[in-house]
């Protein structure tokens, strides 16, 4: 609608206001003192011509894009989903909230979990300087991407656990501690035959951490660790079902189960319903995640606040981007809370 379609540049402002372009830049960004009178004139023109600096030109010299990238498993993948439900938006909300406030743009890109399919794209984005930093959520064991990124001193924050802990910034709940306390809770209720369902293969650090927490709690209580009380599941409901089946088939079945994910807990419950195993009557159940599922099925569970994790992750990344001095890797731990529901009962069966 305006005279021309060419967008207005700093040159136009300078000409119209009768000053040099540097003065315009100084005034606009407040980076150098400019006489009030001149400043007023410049801002009048800026407003009148509706000037907005070109981000590419600016980025070329400042070496900033104000874009940050979130790299995750697919939003609809099993990692984020359970019962058709996706918690991806929780994570997104936390990240978006702080990024928005700090005036960063959020770019998202996803991976086929464990297949490192798109990884090269992330590397490319970083190498062509298309983003200032990246939040990575890669719940698999592969840390080569992360290594490559931090090797180039590229600002990275890991969402979740990773083998490179203490070398690279991260935000997560304390999986070891949660598992430890989950097992402890069962012990306190008097259980001694406590089983554990891993939410994935032990190569995943999350799983290893949880198993270890579980194991240490038993050890502390002087209870023998039994191989047959550990079931390596996956992120799907079925694995909880299968775990229950396996445990119940033992000559000496456990009286309590520490489930790796709520969705597995649901599997356990389903098994119970189908086979007349009462929960918590015959087997007490405690889980991780505290999703809507836990609420719905009355499963005692420990919160994994993805909203908070996203928020803290974004904050940390922002710190990385604005701080000049490198002060080593930070590992933020988001506190978890045990939400007691019916599934854990109050007394063990004997």
Provide, rounded to whole angstroms, the least separation between the CB of residue 122 and DNA.
Answer: 18
Task: Work out which of 2, 4, 6, 144 binds DNA, going by CB under 7 A.
Answer: 6
88 interacts with, out of DNA, a copy of itself, none, CB within 5 to 8 A per kind:
a copy of itself
For a copy of itself, which residue of 11, 48, 115, 124 counts as binding (CB under 8 A)?
Answer: 124
Phi and psi at residue 338, to the nearest 5°: -85, 120
Output the smallest distance, CB 35 to DNA, in A.
3
**How far apart (Å, rounded) are the C-alpha atoms in residues 159 and 146?**
12
- Name residues contacting DNA, limited to 80-99 (CB under 7 A): none
Q: Segment contacting DNA (CB under 7 A): 27-35, 159-167, 177-185, 207-215?
A: 27-35
When the beta carbons of 66 and 349 are compared against DNA, the nearer one is 66
Report helix, strand or coil for 162. Answer: coil
| Identity of the residue, 154 or 231, whose beta carbon is nearer to DNA in the bound complex | 154
| HSE-up of residue 331 (Cα within 13 Å, Cβ side) | 12
CA distance 253 to 264: 18
Whether the upstream peptide bond of residue 138 has omega within 30° of 0, thus cis, is no
Q: Tokens standing for 31?
A: 């980076």
Pick between residue 23 and residue 291 the one whose CB is nearest to DNA: 23
Strand 256-258 relative to strand 284-289: parallel, antiparallel, unpaired? Answer: parallel
How far apart (Å, rounded) are the C-alpha atoms in residues 346 and 281? Answer: 10
**From DNA, a copy of itself, none, interface partner of 11 (C-beta below 5 to 8 A by class):** DNA
Residue 91: Cβ within 10 Å count? 25
Angle at 208 between CA 207 and CA 213, to 5 degrees: 100
Q: Is 109 in the site for a copy of itself (CB under 8 A)?
A: yes
d(CA 323, CA 283): 51
Residue 236 binds which of DNA, a copy of itself, none (CB < 5-8 A, kind-dependent): none
Footprint of DNA on residues 45-74 (CB under 7 A)? 51-54, 57-58, 60-62
Residue 335 interacts with, from DNA, a copy of itself, none (CB under 5-8 Å by kind): none
Helix (H) or strand (E) holding 111, with range, is strand 105-111
Measured CA to CA, the distance from residue 291 to residue 261 in angstroms comes to: 9
Give Cβ neighbours of residue 157 (< 8 Å, ≥ 6 apart): 133, 134, 135, 136, 169, 170, 171, 313, 316, 317, 320
The option from a copy of itself, DNA, none interacting with 225 (CB < 5 to 8 A, set by class) reads none
Residue 290 CB burial class (10 angstroms; 0-12, 13-18, ≥19): buried
Could you say which of a copy of itself, DNA, none residue 29 binds, taking C-beta under 5 to 8 angstroms by partner kind?
A: DNA
- For residues 19 and 159, which CB has a smaller minimum distance to DNA in the complex? 19
Quick one: which of 23, 65, 161, 242 contacts a copy of itself (CB under 8 A)? 65
**Residues contributing to the site for DNA (CB under 7 A):** 6-7, 9-11, 18-23, 25-26, 28-29, 31-35, 37-39, 51-54, 57-58, 60-62
Could you list the residues that contact a copy of itself (CB under 8 A)? Answer: 1, 5, 7, 50, 52-57, 59-60, 65-67, 74-76, 80-81, 84-86, 88-90, 92-93, 96, 100, 105-110, 118, 121, 124-125, 127-130, 151, 153, 292
């Amino acid at each position: 609608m305006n005279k021309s379609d060419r967008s207005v540049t700093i040159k136009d402002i300078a000409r119209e206001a009768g000053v040099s372009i540097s003065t315009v830049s100084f005034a606009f960004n407040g980076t150098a003192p400019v006489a009030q009178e001149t400043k007023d004139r410049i801002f009048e023109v800026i407003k009148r011509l509706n000037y907005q600096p070109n981000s590419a030109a600016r980025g070329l010299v400042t070496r900033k894009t104000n874009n940050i990238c979130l790299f995750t498993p697919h939003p609809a993948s099993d990692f984020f989903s359970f019962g058709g439900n996706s918690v991806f938006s929780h994570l997104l909300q936390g990240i978006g909230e702080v990024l928005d406030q700090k005036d960063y743009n959020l770019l998202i890109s996803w991976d086929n979990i464990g297949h490192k399919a798109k990884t090269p794209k992330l590397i490319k984005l970083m190498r062509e300087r298309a983003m200032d930093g990246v939040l990575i959520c890669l719940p698999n064991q592969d840390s080569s991407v992360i290594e490559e990124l931090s090797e180039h001193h590229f600002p990275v924050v890991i969402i979740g656990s990773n083998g490179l802990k203490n070398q690279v910034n991260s935000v997560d709940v304390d999986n070891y501690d949660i598992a430890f306390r989950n097992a402890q809770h069962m012990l306190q209720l008097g259980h001694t035959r406590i089983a554990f369902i891993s939410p994935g293969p032990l190569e995943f650090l999350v799983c290893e951490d949880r198993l270890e927490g579980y194991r240490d709690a038993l050890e502390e209580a002087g209870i023998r660790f039994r191989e047959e009380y550990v079931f390596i599941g996956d992120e799907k409901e079925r694995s909880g079902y299968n775990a229950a089946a396996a445990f119940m088939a033992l000559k000496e079945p456990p009286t309590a189960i520490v489930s790796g994910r709520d969705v597995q807990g649901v599997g356990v419950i389903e098994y119970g319903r189908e086979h007349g195993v009462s929960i918590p009557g015959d087997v007490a159940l405690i889980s991780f995640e505290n999703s809507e599922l836990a609420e719905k099925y009355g499963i005692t569970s420990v919160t994994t606040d993805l909203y908070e994790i996203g928020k803290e992750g974004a904050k940390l990344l922002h710190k990385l981007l604005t701080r000049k001095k490198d002060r080593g890797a930070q590992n933020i731990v988001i506190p978890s809370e045990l939400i007691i529901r019916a599934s854990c009962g109050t007394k063990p069966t004997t």
